[in-house]
Amino acid sequence: MLEQGTKTRSALKISDELEAIGAHDHAAFGWDSRAIGVDVLREHLDKALDLMADVVQNPTFPKDELERLRARRLANVQSEKNSPSSMSRNAQAAALYGRAHPYGHSLTGRMADIKAVTVAELSQLHRELFVPSLVTLVVAGGVTEDTLVPSLERAFGSMRGPSASAQPCRGSPRRRGPATGRGSSWSTSPAPLSRRSRSRRSASRPTSPIATRSP
């Protein structure tokens, strides 16, 4: 939703401005991290940074765009229900971590939650997660520190927000006994083998890298 409109740009305007400089934007969100970035030629880096700064700091989460993406996400959830491999992965996560742990749920979401999410909730989540203390700027390509730092300061120097408070790590779920089946009627489906790894979550909230790659 970040790229679906800001205080000064509509989703279409953002797309048009990126296309005009030959830039490719991308975003990824997970349980532990969030990332938004752009690939762009060096000569257009300043323009790309301006766009990314606007997207990160001033999203408005337009209602019509929310409804469009809501419909798409609901279709994705339904598609998962028709996919044996997706159902297997989701059942595996629930068995390993339990429904009380974030990892025990599909990132695609649940029907009820997707239907209920509001613009106000998205705005509140943005205010909590996209603050300077949780953001890491990553730039790779043919640029030097001397020329890059002033550009970053100009684009993101006005970014403000409260310091994020540390959150306790989620404990490992209680171990359960092995699952056993009785009877001779078993359906054929994917059966991944897995085990829980050590917790990789720190005591503080995860950072949100804003990546920019410039050839």
pLDDT tops 80 at residue 167: no
The per-residue pLDDT for range 110-145, each reduced to its tens digit, is 899 999 999 999 999 998 888 888 889 999 998 999
What pTM, to 2 d.p., does this model score?
0.71
pLDDT for res 102? 84
Interatomic CA distance for residues 73 and 53, integer angstroms = 26
Q: Which domains does the chain have, with CATH numbers?
A: 2-158+207-214 (3.30.830.10)
The per-residue pLDDT for range 26-84, each reduced to its tens digit, is 988 888 888 899 999 999 999 999 999 999 999 999 999 999 999 999 999 999 999 99
Contact between residue 87 and residue 46 where contact means Cβ atoms under 8 Å apart:
no
Interatomic CA distance for residues 133 and 167, integer angstroms = 14
Vertex 133: Cα angle to 36 and 141 (nearest 5): 40
What is the side-by-side strand order in the sheet with 135-141? 24-29, 34-39, 208-214, 135-141
Q: Is 134 helix (H, G, I), strand (E, B) or coil?
A: helix
Interatomic CA distance for residues 108 and 88, integer angstroms = 14
Contact between residue 54 and residue 18 where contact means Cβ atoms under 8 Å apart:
no
| Of the candidates 199, 200, 29, the residue with the CA atom closest to the CA atom of residue 125 | 29
